[in-house]
Copies of this chain bind each other. A is one copy, B any other.
């Protein structure tokens, strides 16, 4: 009886003081109208997913930028040269690596542009529109990212081990530092691919619960 009384009393000062924390919680979720009790769990879960989405986007941005920068600055000049030649390796000797740098830069640019939509999803967790837009554009960016990563990985592996059938020799014996930098860039882009897959997973889960 006493507890029942105390809660009924709490309601009155709450509107004045906004004092008791429990009461504050029950009034804060609402944006326009009171959220039904059954929806409150979903609401909190969706907001959590949205915040996680935002954090993952920062991670993708870091990975993509790191991959593009690592590959873009890969450059090695050998310490010996002849009268006519200086032996130098750079990413723009290989068209695949050029594509890689451009593609990863585009992916990083897309992620920057997508961050405002991610913030909208945090503010309005129940809005399905921006989430579907992000899901579809994320898939396209994932495809570009994966194609660049796969292509660069194929060329890096050729550069490392060569191929006897086609008489392509391994060039990493001479250009070890260059190869290491290219390998690092490939690893970074595959990290971005994994993070993109997680982004799509969480978007799909969040959409599923928007009944």
* CA–CA, A155 and B132, complex, Å: 35
Q: CB-CB < 8 A to A149: which residues of B? A: 147, 150
Assess whether A159 is interfacial by the CB under 8 Å rule.
yes
**Are B158 and A155 closer than 8 Å at their CB atoms?**
yes
**Are B168 and A168 closer than 8 Å at their CB atoms?**
yes
Interface positions of A from 16 to 50, Cβ below 8 Å from B: none
* CA–CA, A128 and B128, complex, Å: 14
Count residues of A near B (Cβ-Cβ below 8 Å): 44
* CA–CA, A152 and B210, complex, Å: 40
**Are B89 and A165 closer than 8 Å at their CB atoms?**
yes
* CA–CA, A158 and B200, complex, Å: 33
**Are B204 and A136 closer than 8 Å at their CB atoms?**
yes
**Are B200 and A93 closer than 8 Å at their CB atoms?**
no
Assess whether A108 is interfacial by the CB under 8 Å rule.
no
Assess whether A62 is interfacial by the CB under 8 Å rule.
no
**Are A200 and B154 closer than 8 Å at their CB atoms?**
no
* CA–CA, A210 and B204, complex, Å: 12
**Which single member of B93, B197, B208 contacts A128 (CB below 8 Å)?**
B208
Residue from A89, A146, A201 having most chain B Cβ neighbours under 10 A = A146
**Are B150 and A159 closer than 8 Å at their CB atoms?**
no
**Are A136 and B166 closer than 8 Å at their CB atoms?**
no
Residue from A154, A163, A193 having most chain B Cβ neighbours under 10 A = A154
Q: CB-CB < 8 A to A210: which residues of B? A: 210-211
**Are B197 and A157 closer than 8 Å at their CB atoms?**
no
Q: List 13 A-B contacts (CB under 8 A).
A: A96-B157, A129-B208, A132-B207, A143-B146, A143-B193, A147-B150, A149-B150, A151-B151, A152-B154, A158-B168, A166-B169, A167-B169, A207-B208
Q: A93-B166, A94-B165, A135-B204 are in contact. List 16 more A-B contacts (CB 8 A).
A: A96-B154, A96-B158, A132-B204, A132-B207, A135-B200, A136-B204, A139-B142, A139-B197, A140-B197, A142-B146, A143-B146, A149-B150, A150-B154, A155-B158, A158-B168, A166-B169
